[in-house]
Amino acid sequence: MPTTYESRTIAAPVARVWAALADLEAAARWNHAWRRVEYLSDQREGEGTAFRAHTEDGLAHDFTISAWVPPEHIAFAPVRDEAEGRYMITLESQAFHLQPDGEDRTHVNLFATAAGHGPRGWLLARFVWPSYQRQGLRSALDALQALFEPPEEEGEDAPDSSGGQAEA
């Protein structure tokens, strides 16, 4: 399965960045694709927590937290729907990995993994999807960073950002 990622160093301690990511009801602050999030389970944190993300275009997507290691790692996996069987590419997971960079900075890696279905899906997942998906990952990291740092003025250097592809 192809995996792609983006990285960013954020001027905030790991505990603060973790708190922002773990507060799913406020996830729209760092994931602008999600208008709002509601819990589908009584559980509010940890592996197995189920939630629904509503998008601006009126769609809703169900997820479970598939990994939860405070304050280092959180991963979300979509809940599969029978209708998805017809898609050539499906998202398998998205995961945040946090590492302290001194006391007041956090290095964030945001990974996304997809599956390609059928020959065309396999090709698209490996050669087209990664660059498309990295745009969304960058957008999420931009929004997460903006929670802790004021936006940069035009003409200033761009934030420390790097991204790439990895095969899982």
Instruction: Kindly report the length of the chain.
Output: 168
pLDDT at 58: 93
pLDDT in tens, 9-23: 999 999 999 999 999
Residue 155, pLDDT > 90, answer: no
User: Can you list the domains of the chain with their CATH numbers?
Assistant: 2-167 (3.30.530.20)
Locate 151 and state its tokens. Answer: 């936006």
Question: Residue 150 — pLDDT band, cuts 50, 70, 90?
Answer: confident
Question: Residue 168 — pLDDT band, cuts 50, 70, 90?
Answer: very low
Give the C-alpha separation, 106 to 98, whole Å.
6
pLDDT at 162: 52
pLDDT in tens, 74-107: 999 999 877 766 789 999 999 999 999 999 999 9
In degrees, rounded to 5, the angle at the alpha carbon of residue 42 between the alpha carbons of residues 39 and 47 is 80
